[in-house]
Amino acid sequence: MKHKRGIHFEVSERKVLLRVADLIIVFFAIYCLNLYPEFEYLYFGKDNIVALILLGIYISIFGTIFELYDLQKASKLDTTFKNIVITTSTVVLFYLLTPVLSPYLPEERIQIAYFYLAILMSILFWRFIYINLIGSPRFYKRVLIVGETSNIDGLVKVFGASDPNYKIIGFINSEVSTNESVKFKGLKEFESKKFLETIEKERISEVLVASFNTETIIAEVYHDLIMLLERGFKIRDYTQVYEELLHRVPIQFVGKDFYKYFPFSRSNENKLYIFFQRTFDIVFSVLGLFIGILLSPFILIGNIIGNKGPLFYSQERIGKNSKPFRIIKLRTMVVNAEKDGIKWAKKNDQRITAFGRFLRRSRLDEIPQFYNVLKGEMSIIGPRPERPFFVSELSSIIPFYETRHIIKPGLTGWAQVSTRYGSSVDDSLIKLQYDLYYIKHRSVFLDFNIAIKTLSTILYYRGQ
């Protein structure tokens, strides 16, 4: 069988493509502006190399903050247009406010408008091409699942929502099928005896093996998988793809060989990384407390009007190595919010005051926790510290829940910037998947990514 694979881009390839193409198209637009004799603000040449590099850095940083490289949002023109306008406006504003590194303001202010429009229109033009070409069906990754029928539904839902270009075409049941077998109607099922024929006919680019127990895979399917592998066809395990696409550790699929899923990052024992992280914590906690002091008069007034009660409250939380400590926060709920017992905090929780909702959405309620960071009880980045009651409850239901306590809890973290507020056991399971992914992969780069996404959360007023 000679299989002609379609052209497709991996997730990482598309993100790199978006970033690189944004910079290339902007620099090309600036070069074209230089052909216009009246434009003198930013000359495209060696003498302005620092100014050009600065422009590229601003585009990359603010493009990340304002979600230009979120593949789900990048596939929609309306969302992309809004994000491009916000990004371009912020880039130009910061560029104008750094005249030491960027060119001095031109005498004719109209040139700033030319500069702004060149960046805006060039990125918009490229993204229009991306959505209609790279994001079109001809570049989709066409995937065939091989696995038990009971696994298919969950995989289709999570993979379909994670990447718009990752299209699951159908599945082949890896078990012996009988009349009593459960049938899955949400996705086309292909016959196992026509496995190789299906690969060719449907132009499949990847086979995803989704089987809890590979020993149950029927002989003919197993033989075809081996044959495909020997011919260089791409075959991957569903847990590997799950982690790659969703950036979560699929603990609900982990069995007795759990140790294979937790080769935790060397950063957990890397002295240089730990030193860097603690230095980062101290610097930013001091800065955060200083900002809190500057904002305190406004917060006090808001508390008197909208909260009507004590400004601060403390609560016991579980920290590193399951050691309890008291967290300090600005109060956002009514006094005696738990007089009827401990409850999950929910979206639009009636116990949250009017001013408390503002504090949560803006993340200002977290400011006092910089004191916990300064004391070493918390870090800027890490799993969110949970209350002892919920830790006890969740540990008895969710496997590996206590694993999140092997590092310091954080003010912000991978789970906090990647999913909604945990208000149920199911939400806590998803948050744990993100927390374990962070523990497994944490690095300076991932920490920087979380910091940027946290800024995005604050600027878009998405705190909960």
Question: Looking at the predicted structure, is the pLDDT value of residue 157 above 90?
Answer: no
Are 95 and 10 in contact by the 8 Å Cβ rule? The answer is no
Per-residue confidence (pLDDT) for residue 128, from 0 to 100? 93
Indicate the pTM of the whole model: 0.79
> How confident is the prediction for the chain on average, in pLDDT?
85
Q: Which two tokens stand for residue 105?
A: 């303001």
Q: Which two tokens stand for residue 124?
A: 């918009």
Beta strands at 166-173 and 141-147: parallel, antiparallel or unpaired: parallel
Beta strands at 312-318 and 324-330: parallel, antiparallel or unpaired: antiparallel
Mention every residue, 6+ apart, whose C-beta is less than 8 A from residue 319.
325, 377, 378, 385, 405, 408, 409
What is the number of other CB atoms lying within 10 angstroms of the CB of residue 295? Answer: 13
Burial of 380 (0-12, 13-18, 19+ CB in 10 A): buried
Are 236 and 430 in contact by the 8 Å Cβ rule? The answer is no
What is the number of other CB atoms lying within 10 angstroms of the CB of residue 214? Answer: 12
**For residues 169 and 99, which has the higher predicted lDDT (pLDDT)?**
169
What is the number of other CB atoms lying within 10 angstroms of the CB of residue 253? Answer: 16
Per-residue confidence (pLDDT) for residue 184, from 0 to 100? 61
Q: Which two tokens stand for residue 49?
A: 């190399």
Q: pLDDT tens digit string along 75-121?
A: 888 889 999 999 999 999 999 888 778 887 777 888 889 999 999 99
Per-residue confidence (pLDDT) for residue 455, from 0 to 100? 83
Pick from 256, 263, 271, 278: nearest CA to 378: 278
What is the per-residue burial (b if ≥16 Cβ within 10 Å, else e) of 174-212?
Answer: bbeeeeeeeebeebebbebeebeebbeeeebbbbbbbbe
**CA-based end-to-end distance of the chain:** 54
Per-residue confidence (pLDDT) for residue 462, from 0 to 100? 61
Concatenated DSSP letters of 54-106 = HHHHHHHHHHHHTTTT-HHHHT-HHHHHHHHHHHHHHHHHHHHT-TTTSPPPP
Are 443 and 265 in contact by the 8 Å Cβ rule? The answer is yes
Per-residue confidence (pLDDT) for residue 99, from 0 to 100? 76
**For residues 433 and 137, which has the higher predicted lDDT (pLDDT)?**
433
Q: Is the dihedral of CA 188, 193, 195, 200 positive or negative?
A: negative
Q: Which two tokens stand for residue 422?
A: 């945990």
State the average pLDDT over residues 136-158: 77
Domains in the chain: ranges and CATH? 11-134 (no CATH), 140-246 (3.40.50.10700), 266-459 (no CATH)
**For residues 406 and 102, which has the higher predicted lDDT (pLDDT)?**
406
Distance (Å, rounded) from C-alpha 31 to C-alpha 145?
48
Q: Which two tokens stand for residue 351?
A: 């116990």
Sheet containing strand 206-210, edge to edge, reads: 166-173, 141-147, 206-210, 235-237
Question: Looking at the predicted structure, is the pLDDT value of residue 178 above 80?
Answer: no
State the average pLDDT over residues 143-152: 79
Distance (Å, rounded) from C-alpha 124 to C-alpha 32?
16
Per-residue confidence (pLDDT) for residue 256, from 0 to 100? 63
Per-residue confidence (pLDDT) for residue 296, from 0 to 100? 92
In three-state form (DSSP H/G/I as H, E/B as E, the rest C), the secondary structure along 118-140 is HHHHHHHHHHHHHHHHHCCHHHC
Per-residue confidence (pLDDT) for residue 422, from 0 to 100? 64
Q: Could you give the 3-state DSSP secondary structure of residue 322?
A: helix
- 19 band by pLDDT with thresholds 50, 70 and 90: very high
